[in-house]
Structure 1
């Protein structure tokens, strides 16, 4: 048996507690920067496995270090936070939790993105590597990050001195469960997940009675013209071979049918894969909004606020190649090369701050038979719930086994064999 096979031979022994852990985390989700219960469970388990535990990094961040002699230092990362989504899965362990968001609003809470899978898989991998420490040499860092959904959790850990608290890391590895057949893993070299920027734009008009529009500067019409004109940014200012997305997700203005309001607020989301395209789009938005405000006779300049900014996930070529080769050897035909995705992640903030290479891969979480039926009928997008959907519910197995195996296989691609 190889070292990988020997370490993973303990998977059947931890499967029951992993499944119980997953159900518990799914039933008790916590919003970004509020992952206190999850962090406590993580710290307790890591401590029991012999890891040196550091908690409270960036608020609720936790990491454990297992020093097993000379060799590479491998960082494995999982995110912990949930979303303000009302669960509609019908599971007997579905969340009924309600919480308070950062704006003070009471909201439902659900692990609608699979971070409960990520936490459970990393805890399992941490145990397997600890139990199989006679098979490898080096150091494992199991890092559990808060607030990925708000794009500031990784940065919060970095700003709180993460680099000084860690040993000298050689490589950082991470993964995400996706609406793909369970049991499959996929890698991608180079730009993988998009950079994302959210923008809040306030445009100003002059309020008036609905019967006297001549006395107004109508911000609703102004906002409508901005939305229409913004549709030309990607189609006319970005090269056709360069992927990009510009979405106007929200327009808010007024409160009554016969009152012309004095302002409108638009919220936009931009997805790009290069700094140049990112700059082009952001500059175009400001130019178009400013020009439309001038054309409408707006009494004040528009206001722009950028928030929830995610970095580009740009997988290191050599690190990705090494992981892909290890996956191909272990998973066989269940390993594939994934296309780019337009989702976003803040994981890369950590290896960038540490100055180390990284790679980030996908793990399937959908029942294979259900996915196959949907694919055969050409209805994958209609029938398969995706991340952030209230119906998103990864099947427990083989999702947990595969996600745990992937972390162990990837880590052992760097850790030296014992001997």
Structure 2
């Protein structure tokens, strides 16, 4: 008697083990050759070539470097699966033998280190594996599969660029949009929630204007360093004193720059900050408070001119459709053992994934896949040290290859098959 699986999902996943060596090799290659947002030429070419080899109708260059593959397999639902491709201007410090040593010139003209410190290389490998399984097992599913490799998630440009490049008109309207992200969590687990899953995000640049002078004659200056320091401290009171305990918001200053020499009081100071919220009313209150505080601190300092507040990028609130989320969760609980499927609640991370469901007006579901060594995660949990584990965007962040690679492919395939498996 044969031990081969008879259910459609089991038959689809039966060939995954044979794919893993190729996926591991590809993952390591992409990890070692990261590319900045909207410059993912090499990564896109890998995805394009893979889809062509697997019989997809392929359109490259969507939204500059995006790649879309279409696989038609009879009458049935249309499912869109998405992965992002870009890396970050971070110097990798993981010690891996395939660690990135890449540098690149960013939009400002500055030479920066580049690394896949957020796991998008894993996302590409997951979608390549999933696309292969569906191409090789057309007898177990019906419908149309759209696989989308997206540029520029880290700068909130990519989804919008693809949409503005005619994505909705050029490709079939999906019945559901599915995506996933590797995060801190025990490798081999998946987690998510219905409703808000990732926060809205606003990034702002603030220029403060003073009057420069010699460091020995501060009375001749209007010191933008003090102005900026006071502003940063006051901004911390927004969450502490203007957001209710039942609401959620984060205000983080990531850049504070001023001056060139210790004995020169400069003319200007620069602040860059990031805001995360889960409610539009809270978002508007926080942004208004930032503007009020920045202008008030400048006025209190006698600034030579009003501050300049410039929006840098914005991510929408990413909301999982309840019915579609329940369907994905049920499929996960059926495929994975119970202890591997968790309810996560919303995360303060942000994503432009939700743009697709919003623009097409179709349900979307986004979930997380753990990428931390299970023993390390269990030990850190027991010792109350979870916050010490390397998180996304850290120079030390690197998902363990196994079982993260296999779990991500399984999760994406399982979710897609919840719609289009042959009964």
**Which interval holds the TM-score relative to the shorter structure?**
over 0.9
C-alpha distance in structure 2 between counterparts of 1:260 and 1:210, whole Å: 6
1:140-188 superposed Cα distances (whole Å, 9 cap, x missing partner):
0010000111111111111111111111211100000011111100121
Partner of 1:369: 375
* Alignment pair present for 1:283 and 2:288: yes
Equivalent in the alignment of 2:262? 257
Q: 2-side partners of 1:90 and 1:224: how far apart?
A: 36
Rounded to whole Å, the distance in 1 between the matches of 2:216 and 2:25 is: 63
Of 103, 106, 119, the match for 1:98: 103
Instruction: Please name the residue that 1:149 is paired with.
Output: 154
Of residues 404-413 and 386-395 in structure 1, the stretch that sits farther from structure 2 once superposed is 386-395
Q: In 2, Cα distance between the equivalents of 1:161 and 1:287?
A: 39
Give yes or no for the alignment of 1:79 onto 2:89: no
- Whether 1:240 aligns to 2:245 is yes
Alignment partner, residue 225 of structure 1: 230
- SS in structure 1 opposite 2:70? strand
Alpha-carbon contact 2:87-2:114 (below 8 Å) kept: yes
Farther off after superposition, 41-50 or 367-376: 367-376
Kept in 1: contact 2:8–2:421 (CA 8 A): no
Per-residue CA deviation, residues 176-214 of structure 1 (Å, 9 max, x unaligned), is 001111110012111111111111101111222233323
Q: Secondary structure at the match of 1:328?
A: helix
Asked if 1:354 is matched to 2:360, the reply is yes
**Cα distance in 1 between the residues matched to 2:16 and 2:236:** 50
1:340 aligned to which of 346, 350, 356: 346
Q: Give a deviation string over 1:225-250, Cα, whole Å, max 9, x none.
A: 21222121112221111110011222
Provide the C-alpha distance between the structure 1 equivalents of 2:46 and 2:318, rounded to a whole number of angstroms: 29
Q: Any residues of structure 2 matched to 1:298-337 within 5 Å, and which?
A: 298-333=303-338, 334-337=340-343
Structure 2 residues not aligned, in runs of 5+ = 1-5
> Can you list the C-alpha shifts for 1:262-287, whole angstroms capped at 9, x where unaligned?
21111111110111111111111111
In structure 1, C-alpha distance between the alignment counterparts of 2:254 and 2:284, rounded to whole Å: 20
CA positional deviation for 1:416: 4.4
* Kept in 2: contact 1:71–1:416 (CA 8 A): no
DSSP 3-state at the match of 2:375: helix
Q: How much does 1:332 deviate?
A: 2.1
SS at match of 2:25: helix
Q: In 2, are the aligned partners of 1:72 and 1:415 still within 8 Å (CA)?
A: yes
TM-score by length of structure 2 reads: 0.96
Query: What is aligned with 1:114?
Result: 119
Q: Identify the residue that residue 294 of structure 1 maps to in structure 2.
A: 299
C-alpha distance in 2 between matches for 1:92 and 1:56: 32
The answer to whether the 8 A contact 2:187-2:400 is kept is: yes
Of 306-315 and 35-44, the range deviating more from structure 2:
306-315
Contact 1:72–1:416, Cα closer than 8 Å, also in 2? no
Show the counterpart of 2:3: none
Q: Deviations over 1:285-316 (max 9, x none)?
A: 11111122222221211101111211111111
Partner of 2:419: 414
Cα distance in 2 for residues equivalent to 1:217 and 1:390: 37
Is contact 2:140–2:422 with CA below 8 Å preserved after alignment? yes
Give the counterpart of 1:62 among 42, 61, 67: 67
Q: Partners of 1:89 and 1:295 in 2: how far apart?
A: 45
Aligned to 2:210: 205
Deviation at 1:47, TM superposition (A): 0.8
Q: The residue matched to 1:175 in structure 2 has which SS?
A: strand
Residues 180 and 366 of structure 2 are in contact (CA less than 8 Å); yes or no, is this contact kept in structure 1? yes
Partner of 2:386: 380
Unaligned runs of 5+ in 1: none
Question: For residues 416 and 91 of structure 1, what CA distance do their matches in structure 2 show?
Answer: 39
Which residue number corresponds to residue 398 of structure 2?
393
**Whole-angstrom distance in 1 between the partners of 2:129 and 2:113:** 28
> Partner of 2:235: helix, strand, or coil?
helix
1:168 aligns to 2:173 (yes or no): yes
Distance 1:416 1:11, change over 3 A: closer
Corresponding residue pairs, total: 417
SS in 2 for 1:39: helix
